[in-house]
Amino acid sequence: MDALTPLELDLSTSTLREVNATLHAPDLDADTVVVRHPAGKHSVAVGLTKPISVTIDGHVGYYAAGMNQAADVVINGNAGVGVAENMMSGSVWVKGSASQSAGATAHGGLLVIEGDAAARCGISMKGVDIVVGGSIGHMSAFMAQAGTLVVRGDAGDALGDSIYEARLYVRGTVASLGADCVAKEMGPEHHEQLAALLKAAGHDDDTHEYTRYGSSRTLYHFHVDNASAY
């Protein structure tokens, strides 16, 4: 096959196992793959280790593009729970909205969600960059260790609860902050980082419209005075 010709896979005629096996095949000679008719199936295009472009043409279920390494995945629809979960590198771009736990535990790469993301977006993130075009639900960035979460809309309750060293940027309102999460000043390096991530996600917002949030570092070590916050 000509590497410039997209390989088309159809989940209405092939099983999920067959489609994922093709994407993982050592002799795959296509740089671009289109997956048709996903119809909300779970675990589509998981664990990809090749630098290929994969477009999933429709809505997907749980854990789409999870454990991604190197691939660039576009989802032309909405995504269920855990999209890009444990992603290591590459990119995952959701053209619609995402359910709970988007980008959970992800170590690297870029996750873009054009719509909203539900609860626990970026939970326990470990280095991923996430840009959400809309709003996010409660308990997002819970125990976020590293990486960056950018929210162009609003954030739900308990944002950044028990956060470590991740950076959070929110343009809208925050319903409430979680334990140990506080608003922080925006220095030149923060404006530069935020502008770069917004540009990567196709936005050119004024970074001065955003507030940065991070850890106050009072929960790094147990202290009896903070017992009620654990």
Q: DSSP for 130-143?
A: EEESS-B-TTTTTT
Task: Please list the pLDDT of the chain residue by residue as tens digits (230 residues).
Answer: 455 689 999 999 999 999 999 999 999 989 999 999 999 999 999 999 999 999 999 999 999 999 999 999 999 999 999 999 999 999 999 999 999 999 999 999 999 999 999 999 999 999 999 999 999 999 999 999 999 999 999 999 999 999 999 999 999 999 999 999 999 999 999 999 999 999 999 999 999 999 999 999 887 666 667 667 65
Distance CA 86, CA 124 (A): 10
**119-140: burial string, b at 16+ Cβ within 10 Å, e else:** bbbbbbbbbbbbbbbbbbbbbb
Compute the half-sphere exposure of residue 62: CA atoms within 13 Å on the CB side of its CA: 0
Distance CA 21, CA 5 (A): 19
Residue 129 in domain: yes
Residue 4 in domain: no
* Helix then strand then coil, % of the chain, to nearest 5: 15, 25, 60
Place of tokens 């736990």: 101
H runs (alpha helix) in 113-208: 188-200
CATH number at residue 188: 2.160.20.60
CA 138 to chain centre: 15
Residue 153 in domain: yes
- Distance between start and end Cα atoms, the chain: 57
Which range marks the domain in which residue 73 is found? 39-220
Residue 197 in domain: yes
Residue 25 in domain: no
Q: Which amino acid is at 201?
A: A
Residue 6 in domain: no
Predicted structure pTM score: 0.93
Looking at the structure of the chain, the number of domains it has is: 1
Phi/psi-derived region of residue 29, left when phi > 0, alpha when psi is between -120 and 50, beta in every other case: alpha
Residue 13 in domain: no
Question: Is residue 79 within 8 Å of residue 59, measured between CB atoms?
Answer: yes
Residue 63 in domain: yes
